[in-house]
Amino acid sequence: MTQRVAADKNSAGLLATGYPSIFALTIASLLIGCNWLLYVLATTSGHTLDASLGYFMNPLVSVLLGVIFLGERLRFMQWTAVGIAASGVIAMSVLYGHVPWIGLGLATTFGLYGLVKSKVGKRATPLHSFAVESALLAPLAAACMAFLAFRGSMTLFSTGAAHFWILAASGIVTAVPLLLFADAASKLPLSVVGMVQYINPTIQFLIALFIFDERLAPMEWAGYIAVWIACILFTFDAVNSSRVTRRAEKIQDVAATGSLGIIDIDRADRSDHC
């Protein structure tokens, strides 16, 4: 009952804020729509490795966006991680001859999506927020399906029942992880959230290599290794920072408890004298 009341309050709060929240969610829906479209294009055109690179870079891009748009400050280790990742991307672009635009596009669109969603904050639950975004994207998705049907390129209903149900299930396996991640991000330590984000691109990378049989040139390996080193440094810094923060909070709790004990003893002494 309490959860339902809280959800109703969040929904009412979203409507009460009016155009700012709706506008922010509109931008967020367009960004996540571009992200999904780019990911689909990558995986269906033999660029799953590039897609995994984008999601490896995503936490680093998110941190950089926080510096640019929110005025956040980075620690030395975080700047080092961002610099190494940028060096890897530049080296891959110069030495291999092309910019990894798929990876950069995925990382940037999802990073901006997170930035916009942070502006909405707690005015909407993850479920309400995702429902609004899906409703805003539905007309665009319908228009795309109509365009494909007009060209005779839509395979949703023409390739058999198995094909239909696989495509239908892809919507579920896309939405559920986003909802779970949004919920977990508010409950788990930042260090845990940071490490969990690397599970998805790692699985993508392994699938691309061993199932889709994609290959990396030596210069591309160098770029990936640079990004992986940056991810390790970034995660190490997050874990260390979280540990220091917890230690400081424990010290503050102990100090506060001690102060309360001293106050109680002082009050007891005064009552005895009286």
- pLDDT by residue (tens digit) across 38-76? 999 999 899 999 999 998 988 888 888 888 888 888 889
Res. 236: pLDDT tops 70: yes
Is residue 24 very low, low, confident or very high in pLDDT (cuts 50, 70, 90)? confident
Q: Considering just the CA atoms, what is the radius of gyration of the chain in Å?
A: 24
| Lowest mean pLDDT across 7-21, 121-135, 234-248 | 7-21
Banded pLDDT at 174 (limits 50, 70, 90): confident
Q: Residue 155's pLDDT band (boundaries 50, 70, 90)?
A: confident
Residue 2 pLDDT greater than 50, yes or no: no
- Mean pLDDT, rounded, for 78-97: 84
Exposure string over 13-29, b if 16+ CB within 10 A, otherwise e? bbeeeeeebeebbbbbb
**Domain membership flag for residue 269:** no
pTM comes to 0.74
- pLDDT at residue 199 in the model: 85
Cα distance between residue 238 and residue 193, in whole Å? 10
Distance CA 52, CA 44 (A): 14
In Å, what is the CA distance from 147 to each residue of 29, 136, 140, 167? 21, 18, 11, 18
Q: Which amino acid is at 220?
A: E
Distance CA 134, CA 29 (A): 7
The arithmetic mean of pLDDT across residues 209-213, rounded, is 92
Q: Is residue 265 part of a domain?
A: no
- Residues of the domain holding 75: 2-247
Inter-residue contact 166 to 58 (CB < 8 Å): no
The answer to whether residue 176 is domain-embedded is yes
Phi, psi torsion values for 115, nearest 5 degrees: -65, -45
Count of domains forming the chain: 1
Residue 151 in any domain: the answer is yes
- pLDDT of 3 > 50? The answer is no
CB 63 within 8 A of CB 78: yes
Kindly state whether residue 253 falls inside one of the protein's structural domains: no
According to the model, what pLDDT value does residue 5 have? Answer: 37
Say if 42 falls within a structural domain. Answer: yes
Which residue matches tokens 């892809």? 170
The answer to the question of residue 273 being in a domain is no
Q: What mean pLDDT is reported for the chain?
A: 79
Give the pLDDT score at 263: 53
Query: Is the pLDDT score of 6 beyond 50?
Result: no
Nearest to 92 by CA among 216, 205, 207, 233: 216
Quick check: 73 and 20 in contact, CB under 8 A? no
pLDDT band at 169 (very low <50, low <70, confident <90, very high): confident
Query: Which has more pLDDT, 93 or 80?
Result: 80
- How is residue 261 written in tokens? 């004990």
In a domain, 258, yes or no: no
